[in-house]
Amino acid sequence: DGGITQSPKYLFRKEGQNVTLSCEQNLNHDAMYWYRQDPGQGLRLIYYSQIVNDFQKGDIAEGYSVSREKKESFPLTVTSAQKNPTAFYLCATRTAANYGYTFGSGTRLTVV
Amino acid sequence: AQSVTQLDSQVPVFEEAPVELRCNYSSSVSVYLFWYVQYPNQGLQLLLKYLSGSTLVKGINGFEAEFNKSQTSFHLRKPSVHISDTAEYFCAVISSGNTPLVFGKGTRLSVIA
């Protein structure tokens, strides 16, 4: 089945540690996105990539980094510079046709 | 920059009653509009979308929405809700081209038995 795999589903880290969230897709979609979700805040865009080896900052990129070395993969690193990293993180892909977005099932990160 | 306003953060409604979830977007020359549903600890599932054509759009699970360009609105409706419709609903907009999807803050729909 085609889809998006986000792993792990739950992640716990100590304050000050970097952590990398995985997002893998087999949909052959060019564009990939990372959103952060907080209660009452909706989804806010962190980074996105429209082609391999290229990515752009979203609205809340500070404290995060990404890479796009392969079409299938778009990992997100939450660095120690991110002041409040505890949140639900969603990865999405987009097909060029009809602007359809497909979402992964998310990773809930808790920093203690 | 494009923005989306969902006018109600929470909407309680009795089972089998009708419901409307309101969404307004900032004006743009052309926009594409979406409604997504999210169940707890899950990703987002597309309910319906407006790209062009008829302003009344029908989606999954009996939902529909109407695009109103003059009022820059895209309200979601269902004539009779079920307990299983309890979830968070997000309105989203994309301008033409490759700009990313912009979301509203969500409306939590609670269906009461």
The answer to whether A74 and A23 are in contact (CB under 8 A) is yes
- Best mutation target, A36, A95, A101, A109, to test chain B (most B CBs within 10 A): A101
pLDDT score, position B99: 84
* pLDDT tier at B30, thresholds 50, 70, 90: confident
DSSP 3-state percent helix, strand, coil across chain B (nearest 5) = 5, 55, 40
The pLDDT of residue A1 is 57
d(C-alpha B98, C-alpha B101), whole Å: 9
Residue A103 in contact with partner chain B when CB distance is under 8 A: yes
Could you give the angle at the alpha carbon of A102 between the alpha carbons of B23 and B40, nearest 5°? 65
Cβ–Cβ of A106/B49 closer than 8 Å?
no
A16: tokens are 């000050």
Contact A110, A81 (CB under 8 A): no
Element holding A67 (H helix, E strand): none
Rounded Cα–Cα distance for residues A89 and A85 (Å):
10
Nearest to A30 by CA among A46, A53, A7: A53
Residue A75: pLDDT band (50, 70, 90) is: very high
Confidence of residue B22 (pLDDT cuts 50, 70, 90): very high
Range with lowest mean pLDDT among A49-53, A107-111, B5-9, B49-53 = B49-53
User: What is the rounded distance in angstroms from the CA atom of residue B89 to the CA atom of residue B34?
Assistant: 10
- Residue B82 CA to residue B101 CA, distance in Å, equals 29
What is the predicted pLDDT for the residue at A91? 97
